[in-house]
Amino acid sequence: MEIIRPGTNIDFIGKRYIAYVLSGLILGVTIVMLIWRGPNFGVDFTGGVLVQVKLDQKRTPDEIRKALQPVQLEDSIIQEFSEGGQEEYLIHTTKTDIELQGLHDKLEQSLMLEFGKNVEIRRIEMVGPKVGKDLRQKALFAIYYTLLLLAIYISGRFEAKWLMSIIMAGALVLVVVIASGFNVSVIWLIVIAMIVTLGLCCVLKLKYAFGAIIALLHDVMVTVGAFVITDREFSLSVVAAILTIIGFSLNDTIVIYDRIRENIRRLRKKSFSEIINISVNETLSRTILTSGTVFFVLVALYFLGGKVINDFAFAMLVGVISGTYSTVYVASPIILVLEDTPVKDSRDRA
């Protein structure tokens, strides 16, 4: 199915600097918000207790905190949300010394004493501080190693430089081991490793891997920025969404890279920038159809899926929009950065 006419020639490459400025502004805002406010980690990563309760009518957070005093949860964070006309609340506390056994009955009794019998405890989750810290570190490493393995795959797949990819992987393992010996925090460890990864891609001329990593980092940062700006909680389901976004975005990128590689052989008299532009236009119909289909499903999931998967759907929505944009305006144009000479010049001389 073609929704874009064959022969369409939108100048995506010519607008790449505008896209770079736009992406830079978005990433700049994300970094500022991360430094100023920081991510809002959920109970999965901070440890503590999360309780979801259903009440018969709307109550203020102060009223709920007052009802929680008998069970020493009066300092909890109260989040209200309505689902199907029902008043429900999330009660989150970072206390980790609470006895989970019998907590359900104590909570129910305390809330019933204050609000009557129409109280329902939907769920109670508890995570210890050590488990939360371990989960946070594993989530960060999962994202990092995903990006690294994809970089190795892209290098071998499109540039037949498996040896260079293996050398890059070995160098990164060495960097991570050395940095770990200095007790560097996980976040800084990953930042250092990503800088080294991009540097090695430049030195080894792995332009396709370089473009893919930049685009995927862009999508991850945009999604994280959306969560920080809206003050949504980061949970394991959000990490799952981010990993899904990486796979989705890379799938689009691979399609365009494949077309670029085909067109390099076919359009020998065109410059490299022209070949990229033609390739993006030729795959534009497929990109719009794929992303559009996923987008509408996610919209339905976001509005109708309920609170439990609302954050997952939100992350996926942001990621699909960002991934579609980055495939066209980041992953494809960025490979020009490592292209020394236009294809047209080198082949014309030959």
Task: Give 110-168 pLDDT, tens digit per residue.
Answer: 888 888 878 888 888 877 666 667 777 787 778 777 877 777 788 777 776 777 777 77
pLDDT of residue 3: 64
Within-domain flag for 8: no
Nearest-angstrom CA–CA distance, 129 and 58:
32
Collapsing DSSP to helix, strand or coil, 222 comes out as helix
Angle (CA) 150-153-159 rounded to 5° is 130
206 and 79 belong to one structural domain: no
Q: Could you tell me the CATH number of the domain that includes residue 294?
A: 1.20.1640.10
Pairing assessment for the beta strands 86-93 and 77-83 based on DSSP bridges = antiparallel
Pairing assessment for the beta strands 86-93 and 48-55 based on DSSP bridges = antiparallel
Task: Give 201-242 pLDDT, tens digit per residue.
Answer: 888 788 888 888 899 889 999 999 999 999 888 888 898 899
90 and 235 belong to one structural domain: no
Within-domain flag for 269: yes
Distance, CA of 320 to chain centre: 10
73 and 99 belong to one structural domain: yes
208 and 235 belong to one structural domain: yes
Answer yes or no: are the C-beta atoms of 75 and 116 closer than 8 Å. no
Domain hosting 101: range is 48-127
pLDDT of residue 4: 65
Nearest-angstrom CA–CA distance, 151 and 172:
12
Q: Is pLDDT above 90 for 267?
A: no
Q: Could you tell me the CATH number of the domain that includes residue 83?
A: 3.30.70.2040
| Of 178, 177, 180, 217, nearest in space to 195 by CA | 217
Within-domain flag for 86: yes
105 and 155 belong to one structural domain: no
Within-domain flag for 166: no
Element (H, E) at 48: strand 48-55
86 and 156 belong to one structural domain: no
Nearest-angstrom CA–CA distance, 327 and 216:
9
Four-point Cα dihedral 229, 232, 237, 239, nearest 10: 30
| Of 323, 316, 162, nearest in space to 255 by CA | 323
326 and 239 belong to one structural domain: yes
121 and 204 belong to one structural domain: no
89 and 223 belong to one structural domain: no
110 and 255 belong to one structural domain: no
Within-domain flag for 30: yes
Within-domain flag for 305: yes
Answer yes or no: are the C-beta atoms of 257 and 209 closer than 8 Å. no
Within-domain flag for 242: yes
Tell whether pTM > 0.75.
yes
73 and 152 belong to one structural domain: no
Residue with tokens 């004493």: 113
Final residue in a domain of this structure, among 127, 150, 169: 127
Nearest-angstrom CA–CA distance, 232 and 220:
15
User: Which neighbouring-strand residues pair with 86?
Assistant: 83
Residue 182 vs residue 209, higher pLDDT: 209
Four-point Cα dihedral 30, 36, 41, 46, nearest 10: 150
Within-domain flag for 4: no
Answer yes or no: are the C-beta atoms of 328 and 280 closer than 8 Å. yes
Answer yes or no: are the C-beta atoms of 44 and 127 closer than 8 Å. yes
Q: Is pLDDT above 90 for 300?
A: yes
Q: Is pLDDT above 50 for 344?
A: no
Identity of the amino acid at 160: A
Provide the domain count of the chain. 2
94 and 213 belong to one structural domain: no
Nearest-angstrom CA–CA distance, 131 and 234:
15
pLDDT of residue 83: 63
Residue 341 vs residue 74, higher pLDDT: 74
Residues 6+ apart with CB under 8 A from 140: 186, 187, 190
Nearest-angstrom CA–CA distance, 5 and 12:
16
Angle (CA) 141-33-221 rounded to 5° is 40
